[in-house]
């Protein structure tokens, strides 16, 4: 069946069929290959998009800007300090105004409802660049990376996420794995497992029953066995810095080390991370907390820089996968 995503928003993978996700992955691979071959056929010439950022970013902003520019679009960037969004102007009014100017709107911020309201009122496609509940463009890039480095089809891949199982990346992975029939394990302490949103679990389990996926949230480290991917994320998200000491106490046993990789029993296991990562003490934040006796590294430097790590291929694929979303939804 032909896939047509023209004019559609990209808010969560839960809105897409497995066939539509497959289409975006294939398109991402194709656009990447063409770029590397020097083939230039801009699909967004004459288009204008706006990036709305309430949360700061390196990869998401650069990925959207470069992807759009390479395809011929013009990009406008607005952050919380340079627009009236949510301050002097409601989200509904903002969406209606921006929808008159732009062919598409990207939003990166906190509340999932904001990106949903933008899509409701804008009249043009809206793309989710990250919320507290989801990060769908990241999952597309991750799946692209897995397909490049793992000999198995996605339906046979097992992903283990050691860390804060209540965070947006864990939820985003559950959505993606459920849709694509994959095996996902969120591995963390019981105290955090108890905080997992039960409505999210019910949603993904319902989808998993249709696709053959397996979704687990557990504290059993035996689930590392057979993993094809170990996926990392920092222990405290933006705005949660005051929680770092407690998170470090809870999650230090789940720090990814060489021993973690060995416990998978898979000599070809991959290490992925959405970045940024605390893998050494070269960042300001890691140094400050280390001086206070708190080690905030979610992964050791040996793993992060080692042969199993494909984090920089993954980071590059943010741009290619986002390009696929843009071309699929507003391209010619």
Please, what are the domains in the chain?
13-134+317-330 (3.40.50.1370), 151-267+270-307 (3.40.50.1370)
pLDDT tens column, 5-64: 999 999 999 999 999 999 999 999 999 999 999 999 999 999 999 999 999 999 999 999
Concatenating the DSSP letter of every residue in 207-270 gives HHHHHT-EEEEE--GGGGTT-SEEEE--SS-TT-GGGHHHHHHHHGGG-B-HHHHHHTT-TT-E
User: pTM here?
Assistant: 0.97
Active site residues: 108, 135, 138, 233, 274, 318
Of 187, 177, 174, 154, nearest to 264 (Cα)? 187
Higher pLDDT, 89 or 170: 170
pLDDT of residue 178: 98
Q: What is the largest CA-CA distance in the chain?
A: 58
pLDDT tens column, 49-98: 999 999 999 999 999 999 999 999 999 999 988 777 767 789 999 999 99
């Amino acid at each position: 069946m032909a896939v047509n995503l023209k004019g559609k928003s990209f808010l969560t993978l839960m809105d897409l069929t497995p066939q539509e996700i497959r289409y975006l992955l294939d398109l991402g691979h194709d656009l990447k290959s063409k770029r590397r071959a020097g083939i230039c056929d801009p699909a967004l010439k004459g288009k204008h998009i706006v990036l709305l950022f309430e949360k700061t970013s390196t990869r998401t902003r650069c990925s959207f800007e470069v992807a759009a520019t390479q395809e011929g679009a013009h990009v406008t960037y607005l952050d919380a300090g340079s627009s009236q969004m949510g301050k002097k102007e409601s989200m509904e009014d903002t969406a209606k105004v921006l929808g008159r100017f732009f062919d598409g709107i990207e939003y990166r911020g906190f509340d999932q409802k904001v990106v949903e309201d933008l899509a409701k009122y804008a009249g043009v496609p809206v793309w989710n660049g990250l919320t507290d509940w989801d990060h769908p463009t990241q999952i597309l890039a991750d799946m692209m990376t897995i397909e490049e480095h793992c000999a198995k089809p996605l339906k046979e891949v097992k992903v283990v996420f050691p860390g804060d199982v209540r965070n947006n990346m864990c939820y985003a992975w559950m959505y993606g794995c459920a849709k694509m029939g994959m095996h996902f394990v969120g591995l963390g302490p019981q105290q955090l497992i108890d905080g997992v949103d039960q409505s999210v679990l019910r949603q993904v389990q319902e989808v998993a029953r249709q696709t053959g996926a397996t979704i687990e949230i557990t504290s059993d480290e035996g689930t590392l066995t057979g993993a094809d991917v170990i996926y990392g994320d920092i222990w405290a998200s933006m705005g949660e810095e005051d929680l770092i000491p407690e998170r470090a106490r809870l999650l230090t046993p789940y720090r990814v080390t060489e021993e973690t990789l060995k416990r998978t029993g898979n000599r070809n296991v991959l290490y992925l991370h959405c970045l940024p990562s605390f893998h050494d003490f070269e960042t300001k934040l890691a140094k400050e907390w280390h001086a206070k006796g708190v080690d905030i590294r979610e992964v050791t430097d040996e793993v992060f820089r080692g042969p199993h790590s494909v984090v920089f291929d993954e980071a590059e694929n943010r741009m290619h996968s986002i390009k696929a979303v843009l071309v699929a939804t507003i391209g010619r």
